[in-house]
Amino acid sequence: MFKKILVANRGEIAMRIIRACRELNIATAAIYAEQDSTGIYVKKADEAYLVGPGPVQGFLDMHQIVDLAHRIGADAIHPGYGFLSENAEFAHLCQASGITFIGPSPQAIHLMGSKIKARELAKKVGVPVVPGSEGTIVSADQAVAFCRQIGYPVMIKASAGGGGRGLRIVRSDDDLWSNMETASREASAAFGDGSLFIEKYIERPHHIEFQILADKHGHVIHLGERDCSIQRRHQKLIEIAPSLVLTPALRAEMGQAAIAIAKAVDYDNAGTVEFLLDQDGKYYFIEMNPRIQVEHTVTEQITAVDIVRSQISIAAGRPLEITQDDVVLQGHAIQCRINAEDPRNQFRPSTGTITAYLSPGGIGVRIDGAVYKDYTVPPYYDALLAKLTVRGRTWDETVSRMHRSLEEYVLRGVKTTIPFMKTIMQEPDFRAGRFDTSYLDTHPGLFDYDESIDPEDLVLAISAAIAAYEGL
């Protein structure tokens, strides 16, 4: 096993990795920017090193990170998600430098990093894909001809990216080229690659993804699925495991499809294979994410498998400790992303200092976070503050537990998604399991939530303010 792991990330995912390493008795080294020096992960790591310049560049400077790993004696690097986690060049640099990259091979990242290549691979192994262009679209005439052939609506997608960037839905010729130009500029800025392709747009699908684990000895398993349908602008807000719409037979079929894709690229480590499930129960492969996902916690809660610990073990060359027959899905789990955003104002990011903080607890409640009272939320990073995950025996119990936990959650000083999430947990269609990717668009009343402060929360906030004042 490794002696020291450099965590090439920040925030809650850095804390998650540090916790897994602590349980494995592996030393950790964090990196941080000057603007994020008060992050709790910086304090919890065994060592911490300033990188730069600026708030972001140091996290993207692969040579600086690898050189640091050599200098401090780290024998592995865990990239978390975002930043360099899906950068094949970074994985190759680690490999060439004699440092283990905790993730898949550079070749697998390269193949899965291109949605076009991933689609071609899926078709080769017999996994259904959404009808789409065979390669990149390079001209207006080519785009119009193809869209008329498969029929509107269509989805313009960036070949090299994800997270909703470089993605546009188009319903007519008139809107096609302007949206392609915008999507290409956005993709170039986000991924350094402005190439695009076009797919048929599946109306009101479920977004279903399968968590896989694969070792270096040819063993591949899946840990069931997550339903990530509740999104805004193609970015996930709530994740659920298992899906409420999959039958056992369909789960088994889609799980085997995910495994087939992983085997086709000789994949190892953790990864996620993503599908769309249409209204008729037909599924289509859309992409594979060769990294840990934000939403991995719901899978851990219903399988009792530590995915980050598994990543580290696989990277060290150890075989998987479980087989597919050992994977049993127990109960239900929901994850709510607690973001520093204002849902009523187009989810605009909110920055400032957290004046009061009290996390929920009780049976089946898990918090993955990296914030605390007096922490200043910086404007330079993703708005995610914490992930609240709950588990229950039944769907109804899980939803009720999540609502109770959100009611307990006190986080003052910045706008957050907490009151919005509370409203969703009480909404009849959500409670009945009637939701798909159109859920937020078809339920505008969700944004009319009450932001008044609970009396108990008010007492907490006032007490915190008094304590802060007296400490001056």
Cβ neighbours of residue 114 closer than 8 Å, sequence gap 6 or more: 159, 160
Catalytic residue among 16, 119, 165, 291: 291
Closest among 243, 205, 262, 96 to 436, alpha carbons compared: 205
Run of H or E residues at 106: helix 106-113
For 187, the 3-state DSSP assignment is helix
With the C-alpha atoms ordered 24, 7, 308, 107, is the resulting torsion angle positive or negative? Answer: negative
Q: Please state, as a whole number, how many other Cβ atoms lie within 10 Å of the Cβ of residue 46.
A: 14
Contact 429, 407 (CB under 8 A): no
The encoded tokens of residue 340 equal 């520093």
3-class state of residue 384 by DSSP = strand
Do the Cβ atoms of 422 and 450 come closer than 8 Å? no
Identify whether the C-beta of residue 123 lies closer than 8 Å to the C-beta of residue 133.
Answer: no
CB 64 within 8 A of CB 71: no
Closest CA to 102 of 323, 322, 320, 313: 313
What tokens were used for 92?
Answer: 């190759």
Task: Please say whether the beta carbons of 318 and 309 come within 8 A.
Answer: no
Q: Which of 222, 302, 308 is nearest to 262 (CA)?
A: 222
Query: Distance between CA atoms of 452 and 191, rounded to whole angstroms?
Result: 41
Per-residue DSSP letter, 27 = E
What is the DSSP code string of 353-380?
E--EEE---STTEEEEE---TT-EE-SS
Is 165 among the residues known to form the active site? no
The residues, any chain, with a CB within 8 Å of residue 131's CB and separated by 6 or more, are 150, 199, 200
Locus of tokens 């200098």: 71
Strand runs (DSSP E) across 149-219, as ranges? 154-158, 168-170, 196-200, 206-214
- Residue 450: left (phi > 0), alpha (psi -120 to 50), or beta? beta
Distances (CA, A) of 219 to 225, 260, 322, 418: 19, 12, 10, 40
Q: What amino acid positions are annotated as catalytic residues?
A: 291
